[in-house]
């Protein structure tokens, strides 16, 4: 098992956002674009909401990009554990033969979800100061964020 997952999504600038993942064993930092995967943030929140559900088996893939590079964020829930793997593709062709595993983490689902929750709470808190919608060129995913927060609150109570 790896150490605690640290997730950082920094304030967007000109349609780009710096993101990072660290767990004491490995780290991965990159910038991501707001397009063409316009639903990356809302979809990530939906995945996290699903992962926060009861123990079980589930697998999700989030597509995101840096242009021309593409990324797949694979989340696998197995009982109490979540496995995160981030693959990088050199182009938008997403040829599995050319993909490279750039980060992986495994941990308790509650811990992984809490790490993402901290990051999204910070993005939400700073959204006006950072002019999130202007700088990300998309609206903040309010509905998905509220659903995620509700699920987390229900689990904690």
Q: How far apart (Å, rounded) are the C-alpha atoms in residues 80 and 43?
A: 22
For the chain, percent of residues with pLDDT exceeding 70: 97
Averaged pLDDT for residues 95-120? 95
CATH of region 6-156, choose from 2.40.128, 3.30.2450, 3.40.1620, 3.40.190: 3.30.2450
What's the token pair of residue 46? Answer: 């939906």
User: Residue 71, Cβ neighbours under 10 Å: how many?
Assistant: 23
Residue 1 pLDDT exceeds 60 = no
pLDDT at 92: 87
- Locate 119 and state its tokens: 């990051």
Of the pLDDT bands very low, low, confident and very high (cuts 50, 70, 90), residue 83 is: very high
**Alpha helix ranges (H) inside 2-141:** 40-51, 109-125, 132-136
Q: Which of 31, 28, 47 is nearest to 39 (CA)?
A: 47
Asked if residue 154 has pLDDT above 80, the reply is no
Domain spans, the chain:
6-156
Please, which pLDDT band fits residue 2 given cuts at 50, 70 and 90? low
pLDDT of residue 157: 60
**pTM of the predicted protein model:** 0.94
Task: Give the pLDDT confidence of 11-53 residue by residue, as tens digits.
Answer: 999 999 999 999 999 999 999 999 999 999 999 999 999 999 8
């Amino acid at each position: 098992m790896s150490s605690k997952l640290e997730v950082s999504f920094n304030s967007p600038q000109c349609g780009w956002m710096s993101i990072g993942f660290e767990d004491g064993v490995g780290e991965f930092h990159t910038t991501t674009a707001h397009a063409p995967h316009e639903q990356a943030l809302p979809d990530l929140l939906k995945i996290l909401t699903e992962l926060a559900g009861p123990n079980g088996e589930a697998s999700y893939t989030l597509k995101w990009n840096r242009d021309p590079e593409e990324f797949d964020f694979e989340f696998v829930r197995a009982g109490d554990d979540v496995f995160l793997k981030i693959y990088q593709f050199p182009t938008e062709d997403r040829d599995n033969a050319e993909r490279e595993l750039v980060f992986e983490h495994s941990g308790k689902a509650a811990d992984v979800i809490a790490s993402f929750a901290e990051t999204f709470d910070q993005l939400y808190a700073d959204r006006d100061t950072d002019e999130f919608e202007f700088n990300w060129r998309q609206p903040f995913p309010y509905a998905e964020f509220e659903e995620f927060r509700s699920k987390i609150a229900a689990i904690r109570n």
